[in-house]
Amino acid sequence: MTVIYLLSGIACTTAGVIKLVASRKDKELSLKVTAWTILIGGQIFWLTLPTVYHAVGEVCHSASLATLLTDSTSLIATGLAHLLTQLFHPLRREPPRLRRTLLTWVPFYAATLIAMTALFFSVDLKGPSHPLHFVVAYGHIPQIFAMQTVFLTCLTISTTVVALQFRGLTPPGTPLAKSVRSFTIAVALDVVKAVFTLAALISASSGFNHLNFLADLAWVVPPACGLVASYGLVSFALASRRAEKHDADTLEPLWDLVQVPEDHAEADDEPTSAWRQVLRAWWRALSAWWKAVRDWARWGWDVRFRLNRLMIEIRDGEDNLSPWMSPWIVRQVADAVASVKELVDSGMGTDGPAQLRLAQQHNLAVETVSFLASNVLDEDQVIAMQAAATILDAALARAAGNPPVPQDQQLTTLPGQDVPAAGEREYLVRVAQQLAANPLIRSLARNHLPATPVSAPGA
């Protein structure tokens, strides 16, 4: 058991520290609370180790003080998990409702901790300390019996409430739902520990020692709780990282498209010798290689940094392209989508001749009309299509050396430019997906193709 608790303490402390360091880059309070829940919960394993347990008793001159600290730590960790149920819920986390919840439950936990402390110090426990058998060894003492009863009652109530509130927090099938389910199971296992401990306590206080083994079984539960909770956290973290990496990879072609071409760099008007040109080309290649290595070292490990950096630079690239953006392509996308919707609503979305007539009307390929007719064209997708087509059109015009659109004819606002910050990642991913897969985007932008065509993403 000592080895299991040692490994569990190391695992929880490591996971908590990693989570706490990661939460420094995020303003989300729930991440910090999650980290502290793991860290504080991990102290249970450290305090229960015989060496630590006896050391605490010797330093504080109270042989069994570590038991009070362990029980108090359990309640504090449960209270933080209770707070997480509020922070994970979009309605419960609203300040007025969160304040009411705190005013209700903080006094409950505080009163329980004060009562436990008062009952513990009201009796002078003699004899050696018993890290895992405190209930059995001292359950016959009225103050200790009352202390453990208060603790187990509070633990049972709080864990039941937390387990019930964790259920239904998120839609089923999502990574967060799996993590929440693991947290629910871990919290519910504390009820099992409370039941076993209470049975052993009642048995020991009445002099009937045949149920003492339940006290040992109760201490098997905390490592199981830590394992289940850690699994939920790790699985959610890995799923989130995979999602961030997928979105970052999706945004790469869009990022490439909005970058200023190297051809637009300042040219050297003075003639140079052949060896200088070779040297300059070699230096540029070496610089590009070093930049690629540096970016891989920075972005390869920190996927979130890479994703945020891509989003910021895409927005900057859109601003640089704005002089070449014209509202005509936005109207072209809207007209083509409206016509396809009318075709689908009339029940002729899969009719070949009808698709051909519509393609000729908008000067599109039949495959493009067929693609639009077979995909859901909701408002968000249409906005993403308009943005993607506008960006590609402007990028191709700039690459072809075309002059900017006259200022009075420029597009004032790119579709989706005013999307809330919380939805910006989803919006940009939709734009990148449309850019890569939608043939309408490339069809409308073809009028600005230079003599040497510039390859578009997904082309």
- How crowded is residue 227: how many other Cβ atoms within 10 Å of its Cβ? 17
* Residue recorded with tokens 């908590």: 16
CA distance 87 to 439: 43
The answer, yes or no, to whether residue 457 has pLDDT greater than 80, is no
CA distance 306 to 298: 8
Contacts of 170 (CB under 8 A, 6+ apart): 88, 176, 177, 180
Residue 407 token pair = 């200022």
pLDDT of residue 459: 38
C-alpha distances in Å from residue 440, one per residue of 246, 283, 369, 400: 24, 40, 8, 20
Average pLDDT value for residue range 235-245: 75
Query: By C-alpha distance, which of 324, 335, 334 is closest to 447?
Result: 324
C-alpha 286: how far from chain center: 37
The answer, yes or no, to whether residue 167 has pLDDT greater than 50, is yes
The pLDDT confidence band at residue 119, using thresholds 50, 70 and 90, is: very high
- How crowded is residue 380: how many other Cβ atoms within 10 Å of its Cβ? 15
- Percent of the chain surpassing pLDDT 70: 81
CA distance 94 to 26: 19
Q: pLDDT of 353-363, one tens digit each?
A: 777 777 777 77
The answer, yes or no, to whether residue 226 has pLDDT greater than 80, is no
CA distance 272 to 377: 55
pLDDT of residue 38: 83
pLDDT of residue 76: 93
Q: pLDDT of 66-95, one tens digit each?
A: 888 988 998 998 899 889 888 877 777 788
C-alpha 191: how far from chain center: 29
CA distance 198 to 207: 14
The pairs formed by 349-356 with CB atoms below 8 angstroms and a separation of 24 or more are: 349/373, 349/374
The answer, yes or no, to whether residue 269 has pLDDT greater than 60, is no
